[in-house]
Amino acid sequence: MRIIGGFLGGRRFNPPAKNWPTRPTTDIAKEGLFNILNNRIDFEKTVMLDLFGGTGSHSYEFISRGCQDVTYVDKFPGCVSFVSKTAKELGISDHIKIVKADVFKFLQSNSRQYDYIFAGPPYPLPNLNTIPDEVFKYNTLTEDGFFVLEHNPSHDFKNHPKYREERHYGTTIFAFFGY
């Protein structure tokens, strides 16, 4: 896997191949998403939340593009350990807060707001359809911010009241939500 843009652009990181509990976003889908974000976000002023953070790929991209304040959340110890180690190797530990927690419990207890929230949950997650409701129920997103949920064609969010648009990259779909 690689970081696409910013001062870390081109750097590679390799999550363990065995017993890895995540499905990393493909480079093609990630590149497409960041082409959109480049036109919508001032990375240096953005406070970012990475839910179901997995490999940390989205967190690294944001920091590489100038974001100073990233919160990464994942419940799997191997993921948390890998991201902590990788952040140190990349020299970005000062810009990422790593939280080992269940995402739904984190959202319930979190009192902070974020300008951009990304969620890349496991596609078979039984309550994946509730993630947008949870983000908005707990007032996690700033008024001008937006939330992107990665999912596959098995899920459809077009009727959600906060849904704005979606982009397709093969079977990867990014649904955009906001106020």
Which residue type sits at 97?
A: K
With respect to residue 163, please indicate whether it lies within any of the assigned structural domains: yes
Angle between helices 27-37 and 57-64 (to 10 degrees): 40
For residue 20, being part of any structural domain is answered with no
Q: How far apart are the first and last CA of the chain?
A: 33
Predicted TM-score of the model (pTM): 0.95
Residue 100 and residue 34 in contact, taking contact as beta carbons nearer than 8 Å: no
- Whether residue 147 lies inside any domain: the answer is yes
| Residue range(s) defining the domain that contains residue 69 | 6-15+25-178
CATH number at residue 119: 3.40.50.150
Domain count, the chain: 1
- What one-character DSSP code corresponds to residue 5? S
Ordered per-residue pLDDT tens for the chain, 179 residues: 899 999 999 999 988 766 666 777 888 899 999 999 999 999 999 999 999 999 999 999 999 999 999 999 999 999 999 999 999 999 999 999 999 999 999 999 999 999 999 999 988 889 999 999 999 999 999 999 999 999 999 999 999 999 999 999 999 999 999 99
Question: Tokens for 46?
Answer: 């953005």
Looking at the domain assignment, is residue 101 inside a domain? yes
Q: State both tokens at 129.
A: 């359809």
